[in-house]
Amino acid sequence: MLLTMAWSVNNLFVIIGLVSLGHAAYSATQHRTYLRLTEQEFTWLPADILAQCVLSLLLTCYGIVQVSGEFKDIRAAGELENKTWETLSNRPSFYTFNHRGKALYADMEDHMQEDVS
Amino acid sequence: MRNRKSRFLTQFLTRKDKMAYSMSVAEAKAFLRKVREDQIRCSKKIVDIWEEVLVKNSFSLGEEVWLVYEQVCLAALDCAQLDIAEGCYQALKAQFPNSLRVRKLEGMILEAEEEYDRAMAIYEDILEKDETNAIATKRIIAILKAQNKIQDAVEKLNKYLKEHSLDTEAWLELCDMYLHELDYNKAAFCIEECILSNPHNHLYHQKLGEIKYSQCEYQEARSYFAHAAKLNPNNMRALFGLHLSATNLVSSQKGTQKTENARHAAWAAKQIKDRYKTQLGKNRSGDVKIVEDMLEALKMSSS
């Protein structure tokens, strides 16, 4: 999918942001392991890891918003606009069958055989 | 009397191709599913698709085959092809012998043959077994409607709606029955119930506007049409209704209200012309003149 997508700056932002976020997470776990090995207390992550985390989050958010395109309006009656009056006024529970369909759509072969017999 | 089961088979075996439906089985399945979801009543097309494509491939429908059988059965009843309907019903009955839904189909087949007494007996039997069964009640009302006993149908439907007051379909049916009896007040009440439960549906507002217009209450009609046009700017009937009710008000009012309504009428007329223009496109822009002439004629007759 990566190869077939149309490349743009925003796609690049998203990918760089995600990679950077992953890198920040990896650095954080590395830092904690280091503290555990040297038997120091864990209070704060170093400032650079925090900064990388926040900046990559913002970059990813910006990139995704740009990639996903224009927001559509939430129209309450959106789906109804495409339906016709005839279809919306169909009431399947109350269908009756004494209409012109008998004359229009009945099988002509049946009628012809009835006349012959 | 014909043996319907044998006629179903002979028709399948000796069929001549009437309509060349070059649909694949997958396309046919998708089409039938869409028709089921949108509740479109295109019975002839369903029966043709069934005969051309699916009856030979019914095994490939999988679990949907029972829904398709029901759908084709109802479509065949509309097209008066009772042998197809009977065949589908027999298949369903073999699979679901104790189902009330299949019994309802049996009743509907009898209704299509105009054997209303026997159909009524079946539905009353269903109601004895299950008193709250809404479907059987509605079919009894449909039988009364088919026999043109509108008063009885209205009574029964009112009784049904006392218990099931959220059933929009039933309210719409009652509205149409009152309109058939020209009882506009009660029809307006019914459609107001529908609006209460679906306030965003522009078609209900438009219908209520039309009922009010028929009662010559142009002020209220105008507001309902305006609301419908606001909800869906492409609703031509609402735009026409708005134009007509505003024009009617112009002739009966004076002063600022008169100019207001003239403005509304002109706005509606412009919207109608624009929509016709976009639909007709560049090639037939001369035809827009026909619309303009018609709108002018409407103006002259109501003032």
Rounded Cα–Cα distance for residues A31 and A25 (Å): 10
Domain residue spans in chain B? 1-97, 98-147
Within 75-94 of A, beta carbons closer than 8 Å to B belong to 76-77, 80-81, 83, 85-94
Helices (H), B4-115: 4-13, 25-38, 43-49, 65-78, 82-95, 100-112
For A22-29, the CB contacts below 8 A with 24+ separation are A23/A52, A23/A56, A24/A49, A24/A52, A24/A53, A24/A56, A25/A53, A27/A52, A28/A53
Average pLDDT of the residues in B251-269: 86
Distance in Å, alpha carbon of B170 to nearest chain A alpha carbon = 8
Indicate yes or no: CB of B141 within 8 angstroms of CB of A94.
Answer: yes
For the stretch B29-46, pLDDT in tens is 889 998 998 888 889 999
List CB contacts (< 8 A) between B238 and chain A.
none
Residues of B in contact with A88 (CB under 8 A): 201, 203
Say yes or no: ipTM exceeds 0.90: no
- Type and span of the H or E element at A85: helix A85-88
Residues B61-83: tens digit of each pLDDT? 788 889 999 999 999 999 988 89
Token representation of residue B255: 């002063």
Question: B142 to each of A41, B112, B123, B130, how far by Cα in Å?
Answer: 80, 11, 11, 19
CB within 8 Å of B66: residues ≥ 6 apart:
B92, B95, B96
Closest in A91, A99, A109 to B173, CB measured: A91
Chain B residue numbers touching A93 (CB-CB < 8 A): 134-135, 138-139, 142, 169-170
Q: Residue B17 — very low, low, confident or very high, per pLDDT cuts 50/70/90?
A: very low
pLDDT tier for residue B13 given thresholds of 50, 70 and 90: very low
Q: Which residues of chain A have pLDDT under 50?
A: 1, 115-117
pLDDT at residue B158 greater than cutoff 90: yes
Q: Is the pLDDT of residue B165 over 90?
A: no
Cα separation, B169 vs B165, whole angstroms: 10
